[in-house]
Chains A and B, each alone.
Chain A
Amino acid sequence: MLRIALLYPELLGTYGDGGNALVLAERARRRGLDVRSITISMADPLVAADIYLLGGGEDGPQRQACDLLAAGSLASRVADGAAILAVCAGLQILGVRFAVAGDDAYDGLGLVEATTVRGSRRSVGEIAVDVGGRTMVGFENHGGRTKLARGVAPLGSVQRGEGNDGVSDGFRAPRLWGTYAHGPVLALNPWLADEILAEALGEELEPLASVADVLYEERLASVMARRAG
């Protein structure tokens, strides 16, 4: 039984973020795995799961989600072996501190030594990131600048767009993935969905061909063509 939990979609679901949970669950099911999809809402306890998903959100909801995750001990779930994909505001929450309205800062969960401040302008547009030799494509829309402490690995280096700081995007630690590629980034990058599933399950997965592969090739060609242009 693989438990995939979408955390607080009413707070962290600004733009199709629930798609990542759907993609992971479907790709696991199509390989014959027994999957349980869980939606954890604000009023629910933070139940045990194998993979948690955190999405994007506005300032107020982001603080609210952070409080709920601290109270529900997401950190201890990770210590117990759970995996997390954290996108945009979710990425910021897993860090040590993040900026909120005005110049205020808010304490994050501290799972990753990352600090987010407010940038001088929003980063909006297509993003491409080299993740271990493969290009992850997506769309970013955020005002944060994230600094990783020495020794913290980014998810990858930015080929197009801004990510954390124009150089690197997100973070990567065992069973933790963070990225500014918002919304259903796993729908656009089926190989990344499979990488997360494989690490959470601790086993190699059979290839799974679908229209998502065709979409990925099309978006990759489009993003790289515009980068060259």
Chain B
Amino acid sequence: MALLGVNWLSRVTGRGAGTVAGGRVGLRVCPDLLEQLSRRREIICVSGTNGKTTTTALIAAGWGAKVATNATGANMPAGHVAALATTRATRVVLEVDEAWLPEVIRRCSPRVVVLLNLSRDQLDRASEVRVLADKWRGALSRTTALIVANVNDPLVVFAAETAPRVRWCDVPTTWLGDAQSCPHCTRPLSPEGSTWHCLCGFTRPASATTRLDGEGLVVDGAPVDLTLSLLGDFNRANAAMAITALGEVGVAAHEAAARMATVTSVAGRFSLRTYRGQVVRTLLAKNPAGFSALLDVIPSSPGEVWIAINARIADGRDPSWLYDVPFERLRGHRVRCFGDRKLDLATRLDYAGVEWRLDDDEVEVIDETLYLLANYTAFADIVEESTPC
């Protein structure tokens, strides 16, 4: 029925329902289109501030079957309709914008919801992060879905702790700038080794069934060989949670892990490209937590790093967050500043004691691969202006 309806919609609107614009028209004509398209499908939703796109791609790759998934960035209902309208695939993984998660859970009735992390991002147009955590909590307490949740992020724990079914994942989580005070009572969260608790009783659940640390990945007590092509501890954490989610739909952990190892780049992220004659590895980071995780993968030896910052609508129009990024870690490197807001970046680096240059100073090509970190629209511009190696 739903597919017939979409075909009809495509004809009457003159656009494919498989595009985001078509999805938007479809939802206007048929407000419960997403509910209809979700019926009799096995859906995994992925949300969180950072890692959504990569984790969604890892789940799609790890499932080992034909999987429907939404295009990069199209992570609101119109994008979900577009992903579902043009395929009969019954297995579905959807990246979901944080603010839309409660509604998408209600409309799609997913089997699994993956909650990666929650921290500040684009505060000029998004909710403050605690308001968001509270909305998640309300939605999750009523769902039958399995929640796969990061136990090291107190805001995620707050959101998921009243859900009927949760699998906690103990994975590396570096930036917790928004989780130092208790989401229940705002008193300080006291860290104790790898755990934390509050005087009000809010505490880190002890029952993690997935654990990823320097020793490797263990799921339900069994070690899983996790060797990714993607770099960074944050991507290993994403993969650990993806593997846990796939366990709920019957995919064996070692098989999922082996398939995930073949993923080398996601929508241009982590790929090698030539930009302005220079070979660069392109990395996307949009907020303090994302940047902090990427700064960890940059080698400590001196060298050049390229960073591009914009502040267009899709980036959030206020780059104040640059002062929440620990750029001091780049002391000893030289940073070349790109993007609409390169002067904001240069000023931040200047106060951090990091050597910097602007992109309009003479660029000499260096005979090694440099890391190029960029935020959302800056990243899109660079992908457009560069070529794959």
A residues within 8 Å of B by Cβ?
10-11, 13-19, 22-23, 26, 41-43, 58, 60-61, 63-64, 124-126, 139, 141, 182-184, 187, 210-212, 214-215, 218
Contacts and interface: CB of A to CB of B under 8 A. Distances in A.
A23 B347 CA distance: 10
Closest 7 CB pairs of A and B: A183-B320, A19-B323, A16-B323, A10-B180, A16-B320, A139-B318, A215-B343
Nearest to A43: B188
A215 B356 CA distance: 14
Given A211-B343, A212-B347, A183 B323 contact: yes
Contacts of A16: 320-324
A211 B349 CA distance: 10
Given A60-B130, A214-B343, A187 B351 contact: yes
Contacts of A19: 320, 322-323, 348, 351
Contact of B320 (A15, A41, A63): A15
Nearest to B311: A139
18 contacts: A13-B177, A13-B324, A19-B323, A26-B351, A42-B188, A60-B130, A64-B187, A139-B124, A139-B317, A141-B124, A183-B318, A183-B321, A184-B320, A187-B347, A210-B347, A212-B350, A212-B351, A214-B343
A10 B124 contact: no
A16 B161 CA distance: 29
Contacts of A211: 343, 346-347, 350, 356
A43 B189 CA distance: 10
B21 interface: no
A63 B187 CA distance: 11
B351 A42 contact: no
A211 B350 CA distance: 8
Interface string B355-370: 0100000000000000
A170 B123 CA distance: 21
A87 B344 CA distance: 20
A18 B188 contact: no
Contacts of B120: 14-15
Interface in B337-388: 343-344, 346-348, 350-352, 356
Contacts of A184: 320, 322-323
B120 to A, nearest CB: 7
B297 interface: no
Contacts of B123: 14-15, 141
The winner among A10, A23, A42, A125 for most chain B CB atoms within 10 A is: A10
Interface string B169-185: 00000000100110001
Given A14-B128, A23-B351, A211-B347, A63 B186 contact: yes
B200 interface: no
A15 B181 contact: no
Contact of B346 (A15, A43, A215): A215
B317 A125 contact: yes
A73 B68 CA distance: 59
A150 B244 CA distance: 62
Interface string B147-183: 0000000000000000000000000000001001100
B289 to A, nearest CB: 14
Interface size bracket, B side: 20 to 34
B131 interface: yes
Contacts of B346: 211, 215
A41 B188 CA distance: 9
A206 to B, nearest CB: 18
Contacts of A210: 347, 350
Nearest to B176: A10
Given A15-B320, A125-B124, 5 more contacts: A16-B323, A58-B130, A183-B320, A212-B347, A215-B344
B351 A15 contact: no
B323 A22 contact: yes
A161 B324 CA distance: 24
Contacts of B180: 10
B186 A11 contact: yes
B186 A64 contact: yes
Nearest to A60: B186
A187 B317 contact: no
Contacts of B188: 10, 41-43
A14 B185 CA distance: 17
Given A22-B351, A60-B130, A15 B343 contact: no
Nearest to B318: A139
Contacts of A141: 123-124, 318
Contacts of A14: 120, 123, 128
Given A18-B324, A19-B323, A125-B317, A187 B348 contact: yes
A29 B323 CA distance: 19
Nearest to B352: A22
A141 B343 CA distance: 22
Contacts of B351: 19, 22-23, 26, 187, 212
Contacts of B318: 15, 139, 141, 183
A43 B180 CA distance: 12
B257 to A, nearest CB: 37
A31 to B, nearest CB: 14
